[in-house]
Amino acid sequence: MQEDMFVRMGQRIKKAREECGLTQQELAEQTGRGLRHLQDIEKGRKNPSFDVLASYISRLGIAPNELFYPDVPAVEKEVQHLMGKLLACTEDERAILLKTLDCMADQFISRRYEASKSQEFK
């Protein structure tokens, strides 16, 4: 049972690493961790310590829940994913991202509102 948990966690770390376009070597170097240790974690052969997981979570910009609770609804996963990316940024970068997302969301909402309004008049 516990071994299955390590395998699933390793698969999620690998998927997040690949989505970031990183090789195992690059992730190991950027987090100051050993390559062989990362390989063992990704294959589910090792139980990573808290600080090792924290370094991967921070570098990959993923929410911890993505590793521990894979069966959450899709919308919650998306929110967690976005939160992980935001937390991996500096305060200035987060401010820029939040302003950008705010503007984009306003545009989408306005466009949807305008489309529904035009449908009413047809």
Q: How far apart are the first and last CA of the chain?
A: 59
Q: What's the whole-number average pLDDT of the chain? A: 89
Q: Say yes or no to pLDDT of 51 above 70.
A: yes
- In this model, does residue 33 exceed pLDDT 60? yes
- In the prediction, which pLDDT does 1 show? 53
Instruction: Give the percent of the chain with pLDDT over 70.
Output: 93
Whether the pLDDT of residue 94 is over 80: the answer is: yes
pLDDT score of 113 = 80
Q: Mind spelling out the 3-state secondary structure of 80-102?
A: HHHHHHHHCCCHHHHHHHHHHHH
Of residues 50, 121, 100, the one with CA closest to residue 41: 50
Is the confidence at residue 81, as pLDDT, over 90? Answer: no
What's the average model confidence in pLDDT over 48-71? 88
